[in-house]
Amino acid sequence: MQDSTIWDANEAFYAETPREMIEARDYINPTFNYRPRFNKPVLSYWIVAASYRLFGVSEWSERLPIAAAAVVLIATAFALGRAAWSVEAGLFAALALATTPRVLMFARRIIIDMWITMFMGLTLLGFVQAEVNPAHRRRYLLLMYVAAGLGVLTKGPVAVVLPALAILIYLVVERRLGDLRRMMIPAGIAIVSVIVLPWYVALYFQHGWVYIREFFIDENVLRYAQPVGAARRGLLFYLPVMLSDMFPWSMLLPVALVSAWTAFVQGPDAAKPVNKAQRMLLIWVAAIVLFFTFSQTKEDLYIFPIVPAEAALIGVVLARGRESMSISARSERHPRPFSRAVRWSLVVTGAVVGVMGGALLAMTLMGTRYQLAGSRAVAFMALAGGALALVLAIRRRVTQSALVLGSAFVVMSWVFVVTTLPDFEKYKPVAPFAEIIKQRAAPQARIGYYRFAVPSLVFYTRRPVFESFDLESLQRVFASGDEVYCLMTAEDYAAVKNTLPGPTYVVVRRPLFDVKVQTLLEGTALPDIVLVSNRP
């Protein structure tokens, strides 16, 4: 349940804070649970607050800006693929990114990483376009700095540091370090400053340096230099993350990176714009992954800004693979090594998707206790789409194989969103519990949770909540004499029930979906979440 708790926390922070800003009419000081919260800059809160103002406070209006950011990100992948090879490569890049389950999931969750990935993707696109369209270099560099400034106001200095690192490496590789003079750096500093400084200046006049220092030092420098939260993770932590971020297209990543490496080692003498673009895309991926590989705090989302570059490189190899197959077919020659690599990567992709679909279909047919509407249709589409893509790849039909895979994931995504997710609502206890609390609780009642973090309770109840993670603090809450409503697992309640002062009652209980693989395979009973009160 740890992962679901993390997601609930992220979504709650970026949904609740804008509402509290609107209520307080204070757009300078972010708060969560009616307390100051300055661990991130303010732009993401402003975006959701604007959506709330336009469409009202709701889950739909909070998620709309994230969905829009995902659309912009897909368009960015298209533009990068087109710059790196052709329009066809751009279309393949957009298809790959749009049909990646992880991107779909993030597009439906209100987390900051979709926004920072969009802004950093636009920063990368601005530089690439300046390289491949020198006649409009000035215009694209200005747009690049605007995107970088918005990224800084979204997540902080990482939105400038990482692009600057990648660009510096690129210019060194190109043997054009002197071109730094043509990067319009003074204008860029001015643009970023105009976007970022007003909020920080306002913050300084209200609070001095305290929150600014905490953000830049504690949330950035110390997080990089010291492990925070999760246990220490090794140097290879991000390799599986790269594969999961772009699944199922990640099977093509090795070929895509090798293809880009070819453009890289050709050096600055290979002056074709497409070679320059591919070199920059490869450097972008390598710089971000290596930068966070040596960070003491590692989270999978830290490298998410590489996905538009990955998608563009995958689009390039799919377009090149189709072209190479066509040349081989016309000349009646055996496929070239590159064509074989692309084809067999698609064979492996189809096989993996098909096997996963078959396994899921078998689980649904066995009638496990975890039955969700539409899961059988999703499983069948994965099995059929993977098998057909495999056959087409074996028959050297690269384009058809990729389109079948993309189409299968489009259908699966629609079934999942339209059918499966609504059925999944029965396993999301916070909103229904919040409705019961609002019907029963007096204005002065104390509401919170014990050893089961659900910060979204703030959003749904529109009241401050207490957090209790040890028995002593929970006992103090129930000993206060106030009316109390507390969420916890049924197992925890059984353990603490006899230690709490006064009688307590289970108002309602609901199952919580546990997505651990072992639980699914064993068919273990779902854990129950209970709402406990000292009022019958």
pLDDT digits (tens, 9 = 90+) for 292-302: 999 888 888 89
| Kind and range of the H or E run holding 345 | helix 337-365
Token duo for residue 36:
């100051």
User: pLDDT band at residue 109, thresholds of 50, 70 and 90?
Assistant: confident
What pLDDT does residue 2 have? 35
What pLDDT does residue 8 have? 46
What pLDDT does residue 272 have? 64
In angstroms, the CA 49 to CA 43 distance is 10
Token duo for residue 366:
């066995």
In angstroms, the CA 141 to CA 185 distance is 9
What pLDDT does residue 32 have? 81
User: pLDDT band at residue 330, thresholds of 50, 70 and 90?
Assistant: very low
Token duo for residue 491:
């197992």
Return the half-sphere exposure (C-beta side, CA atoms, 13 A cut-off) of residue 426. 8
Percent of the chain with pLDDT over 90: 48
In angstroms, the CA 391 to CA 409 distance is 17
Q: Return the SS3 of 3.
A: helix
Give the tens place of pLDDT for each residue, 53-98: 898 888 888 889 999 999 999 999 999 999 998 899 999 999 999 9
Say which residues have a Cβ less than 8 Å from residue 190's Cβ, sequence separation at least 6.
none
Give the tens place of pLDDT for each residue, 160-219: 999 999 999 999 988 889 999 999 999 999 999 999 999 999 999 999 999 888 888 888
In angstroms, the CA 282 to CA 192 distance is 26
Q: For residue 280, give the nearest of 302, 313, 304 by alpha carbon.
A: 313
DSSP code of 449? E
Cβ(388)–Cβ(404) under 8 Å?
Answer: yes
Say which residues have a Cβ less than 8 Å from residue 113's Cβ, sequence separation at least 6.
106, 301, 304
What pLDDT does residue 150 have? 97
Percent of the chain with pLDDT over 70: 88
In angstroms, the CA 27 to CA 42 distance is 8
What pLDDT does residue 298 have? 86
User: pLDDT band at residue 462, thresholds of 50, 70 and 90?
Assistant: confident
| Kind and range of the H or E run holding 506 | strand 505-511
What pLDDT does residue 7 have? 40
Give the tens place of pLDDT for each residue, 118-158: 999 999 999 999 999 989 999 999 999 999 999 999 999 99
In angstroms, the CA 462 to CA 349 distance is 46
CATH no. of 428-533: 3.40.190
DSSP code of 466? E
Q: Give the number of other CB atoms < 10 A from CB of residue 518.
A: 8
Ramachandran quadrant class, 114 (left: phi over 0; alpha: psi -120 to 50; beta: rest): alpha
In angstroms, the CA 421 to CA 218 distance is 37
Please provide residue 70's backbone torsions phi and psi, each rounded to the nearest 5 degrees. Answer: -65, -40
DSSP code of 306? G
User: pLDDT band at residue 453, thresholds of 50, 70 and 90?
Assistant: confident
Cβ(295)–Cβ(305) under 8 Å?
Answer: no
What pLDDT does residue 17 have? 75
What pLDDT does residue 266 have? 61
In angstroms, the CA 308 to CA 90 distance is 11
Q: Which residue has the higher pLDDT, 426 or 74?
A: 74
Token duo for residue 350:
């189809």
C-alpha angle 29/31/35, rounded to 5°?
115
User: pLDDT band at residue 331, thresholds of 50, 70 and 90?
Assistant: very low
Please list the helix, strand and coil fractions of the chain in percent, rounded to the nearest 5, in that order.
Answer: 70, 5, 25
Cβ(385)–Cβ(405) under 8 Å?
Answer: yes
Instruction: Determine the average pLDDT of the residues in 318-342.
Output: 65
> What is the rounded average pLDDT for all residues in the chain?
86
Instruction: Determine the average pLDDT of the residues in 34-42.
Output: 84
What pLDDT does residue 323 have? 72
Strand 35-36 and strand 31-32: the pairing is: antiparallel
Question: Is the confidence at residue 327, as pLDDT, over 60?
Answer: no
In angstroms, the CA 94 to CA 76 distance is 8
What pLDDT does residue 488 have? 92
User: pLDDT band at residue 332, thresholds of 50, 70 and 90?
Assistant: very low
What pLDDT does residue 324 have? 67
Q: Return the SS3 of 532.
A: strand
What pLDDT does residue 4 have? 39
Rg of the Cα atoms in the chain: 26
CA 526, 531, 534, 536: dihedral to nearest 10 degrees? -90
Strand 528-533 and strand 484-489: the pairing is: antiparallel
Question: Is the confidence at residue 376, as pLDDT, over 80?
Answer: yes
Q: Return the SS3 of 27.
A: coil
In angstroms, the CA 41 to CA 29 distance is 10
User: pLDDT band at residue 418, thresholds of 50, 70 and 90?
Assistant: confident
Give the tens place of pLDDT for each residue, 467-519: 898 999 999 999 998 999 999 999 999 999 999 998 999 999 888 765 555 55
Strand 446-450 and strand 466-468: the pairing is: parallel
Give the tens place of pLDDT for each residue, 165-177: 999 999 998 888 9
In angstroms, the CA 82 to CA 78 distance is 6
Instruction: Give per-residue burial for 199-228: e unless 16+ CB within 10 Å, then b.
Output: bbeebeeeeeeebeeebeeebeeebbeeee
What pLDDT does residue 97 have? 95
Give the tens place of pLDDT for each residue, 262-274: 766 665 445 566 7
